Amino acid sequence: MEKTELKRIVDANDWLWEKWWPTLLELSPEQTHQKVGGSFDSVFATAAHMVGAETVWLERLQHNPEATFPPTPAEMQGLREHWQQLAARRQQWLTTADPEAKITYRFTGGTASNSVAEIVLHFTSHAHFHRGQLASQLRLLGLQPPSVHYIGFFRL
């Protein structure tokens, strides 16, 4: 994978987040934390997991093999602010990222090594998976999720 392709994949992931944040921020505190089921029981818990996972992967990409989930803010606005800082740090990291570089890190199953490109593909597909869960959770709350898809970024 070329460096420009790597950046476009990350940019598409960030674009999708920007399309989702207005809907997430419009939720009342009750809707945000209401237990509706899924891998994570609320919209907030799902979004917090997504942001936390992207944070861990960026830390690993920046050669912190011991990275762990950061503390979770108490509300959605705080989560968005954390994500904005993460996205800015990730964009800075992309300026020097080598898609073929190997990254070694620890995870619950042991130690692994993957290329930067493989990790980027993983964390973006992880986010896609959980966006589908967010869409279901919003529907269970009687709300409409954003109608936005990954391919939409590339159609711009």
This prediction's pTM: 0.95
Per-residue pLDDT band for 19 (boundaries 50, 70, 90) equals very high
Pairing of strands 102-107, 110-115: antiparallel
Write down the pLDDT at residue 115: 98
Give pLDDT, residue 104: 96
Phi, psi at residue 97, to the nearest 5°?
Answer: -65, 140
Contact 24, 76 (CB under 8 A): yes
pLDDT at 145: 97
CATH number for position 135? 1.20.120.450
Total domain count for the chain?
1
* pLDDT above 90 (res 156): no
- Strand, coil or helix: 110: strand
Q: What is the pLDDT of residues 63-106, one digit of tens each?
A: 999 999 999 999 999 999 999 999 999 999 999 999 999 999 99
* Domain hosting residue 66, numbered range: 3-155
d(CA 108, CA 71): 18
Predicted confidence band of residue 2 (pLDDT cuts 50, 70, 90): very high
User: 61 Cβ partners below 8 Å, 6+ apart?
Assistant: 93, 97, 103, 116, 119
Task: Tell me how many helices (H) and strands (E) the chain has.
Answer: 6, 2
